[in-house]
Amino acid sequence: MDFGFYKIGIWSAVLLCAVFVLNTKSWAEAPAIKRPFPQAGKTHYGGISCSYAPAARNQAVERFYELWKNKYLKPARTVEGGYKVSFNQRRETVSEAIGYGMLIVVQMAGYDPEAKTYFDGLNRFRKSHPSQGNKAFMSWQVDDRGKKRAYSATDGDVDMAMALLMAEQQWGDAAYRKEAEKIIDALLKDLIRKDGSIRLGDWQQAHGNDSPASTRTSDFEIASFRAFHQATGNDQWLKVVERCFAILNQLQADYAPKTGLLPDFALQQKDGTWKPAHPKFLEGHNDGNYGYNACRVPWRIGFSAIYSNDEKSKKIAKRLMNWIVSTHASPAEFKAGYKLDGTPTTQSSKMVFTAPTGVAAMASENRDWLDGTFRLAAKTTDSYFNDSVNLICLLIMSENYWSPEY
């Protein structure tokens, strides 16, 4: 007998068994995906549906996701195992971008086998760059070398907390929820005023820069606040929801009765009511107009309307969409900015303005506008901000986007 070959055979068998055991262990430890993409047909919305077949909608989302991922989702050089969403060509990022990235990849699990790796990498990056004001939050801007702006921006942290709640329900790991609860508690402590109105970031609390009170209408993430209430049982979040509705309704009634348009920023007056911010309040000449912040309101309020079948959100969306549909022949004509009386501030168009109106169209039952927006959104690419908001709106318009439920 050739004992050399016999020994080789024995060791080969042992090696094969070891590989099998390791692979079996790996498969056994792989977390089950509870809500795999696509969810179209499983997520029940309270609005109208796009006319395109579910398979066509799903394919459009998949194509755009691949484009977005290849263009913006990058390994973080300063955080081992970390990922970030590049904000610009200098590979800087912002907390808003990390929030969008976490929301997107958790929804794409089931289609993308690396979704959990990306999500955990984004979450690792978030935790590696805490805000100076409250360490539960992320610094609002971080460059490619890890240098950061000190304080937070509200919407990024709200989106991150929401994404962590989604992650718990997607992969079944309670650790995600514990992380979400830390952010949610910090939001109530530092970013929500006693009357339920929302601060711009933790720098206002840290520096005492909160008089007069100011707010950003695109931070009114009703669906997220409802999820926070369900997850924690804290009724303060219901007060925040009602305060958001009160401010939005008052601003529409007092400053945009014909258009339903909302300002980027609003300031509280001595009598307790709110008014559009003055030019150069924080970011530029359009701070009191419908600009690059408020353009996200139709997505935020529209998703609240259709996911919860919420009449208060529907009314706000309908006021805006009634004006949009009656004054624009098609989504392609919608401009990238307006004064609250409906006068365009530019003749250019951007998908970050147009795509959210498709979500609001679902709530206001404007099917032609919804179909036209979906068609335009599926083929139009631009920069990080446009493409990220566009992709989230495509997920909603295709009825694939879901919210955590308790």
For 306-363, how does the pLDDT look when each residue is reduced to its tens digit (9 = 90+)? 999 999 999 999 999 999 999 999 999 999 999 999 999 999 999 999 999 999 999 9
120 noted as active-site residue:
no
User: What mean pLDDT is predicted for residues 206-215?
Assistant: 85
Among 21-35, 144-158, 203-217, 246-260, which stretch is predicted with the lowest mean pLDDT?
21-35
Q: Which residues pair with 93 in a beta bridge?
A: 142
Say what the pLDDT of residue 282 is.
95
- Mean residue pLDDT of the chain comes to 92
Say what the pLDDT of residue 26 is.
38
Q: What are residue 175's phi and psi, to 5 degrees?
A: -60, -35
CB 227 within 8 A of CB 250: no
Q: Over 50: is that where the pLDDT of 12 sits? A: no
Q: Over 60: is that where the pLDDT of 1 sits? A: no
Q: Classify residue 182 by burial, with Cβ atoms within 10 Å: 0-12, 13-18, 19+.
A: middle
Q: Over 70: is that where the pLDDT of 143 sits? A: yes
Q: Over 60: is that where the pLDDT of 18 sits? A: no
What is the spatial distance between Cα 349 and Cα 185, in angstroms, rounded to a whole number? 39
DSSP structural state of residue 94: E
157 noted as active-site residue:
no
Containing 266, the helix (H) or strand (E) segment is strand 265-268
Catalytic residue among 96, 159, 190, 219: 96
Q: Alpha-carbon torsion 116, 123, 306, 263, what sign?
A: negative
Q: Over 60: is that where the pLDDT of 25 sits? A: no
Say what the pLDDT of residue 305 is.
97
CATH of 212-406, one of 3.40.50.880, 3.30.70.3280, 1.50.10.10, 1.10.10.10: 1.50.10.10
CA-to-CA separations, 344 to 185, 254, 394, in angstroms, rounded: 40, 19, 25
**Number of other residues whose CB lies within 10 A of the CB of residue 135:** 13
Say what the pLDDT of residue 148 is.
78
CB 113 within 8 A of CB 172: no
Q: Which residues pair with 214 in a beta bridge?
A: 267
Q: What are residue 354's phi and psi, to 5 degrees?
A: -80, -45
CB 57 within 8 A of CB 399: yes
**Six-digit token string for 302:** 């529209």
Q: Over 60: is that where the pLDDT of 28 sits? A: no
Q: Over 70: is that where the pLDDT of 231 sits? A: yes
Domain definitions of the chain by residue range: 212-406
Say what the pLDDT of residue 22 is.
41
CB 180 within 8 A of CB 115: no
What is the spatial distance between Cα 161 and Cα 167, in angstroms, rounded to a whole number? 10
Say what the pLDDT of residue 144 is.
87
User: What mean pLDDT is predicted for residues 266-292?
Assistant: 97
User: What mean pLDDT is predicted for residues 95-101?
Assistant: 98
Q: Which residues pair with 192 in a beta bridge?
A: 198
Question: What amino acid is encoded at 28 in this protein?
Answer: A
CB 321 within 8 A of CB 299: no
CA-to-CA separations, 345 to 286, 290, 308, 340, 384, in angstroms, rounded: 8, 9, 34, 10, 22
Catalytic residue among 112, 120, 155, 221: 155
Query: What order do you get walking across the sheet with 214-216 strand by strand?
Result: 214-216, 265-268, 274-276
Say what the pLDDT of residue 29 is.
57
What is the spatial distance between Cα 130 and Cα 88, in angstroms, rounded to a whole number? 21
pLDDT digits 0-9 by tens, 355-392: 999 999 999 999 999 999 999 999 999 999 999 999 99
pLDDT digits 0-9 by tens, 45-57: 999 999 999 999 9
CB 352 within 8 A of CB 390: yes
Say what the pLDDT of residue 353 is.
98
Burial per residue of 7-20, b for 16 or more beta-carbon CB atoms within 10 angstroms, e otherwise: eeeeeeeeeeeeee
Say what the pLDDT of residue 13 is.
45
Q: Over 70: is that where the pLDDT of 97 sits? A: yes
Q: What are residue 192's phi and psi, to 5 degrees?
A: -110, 125
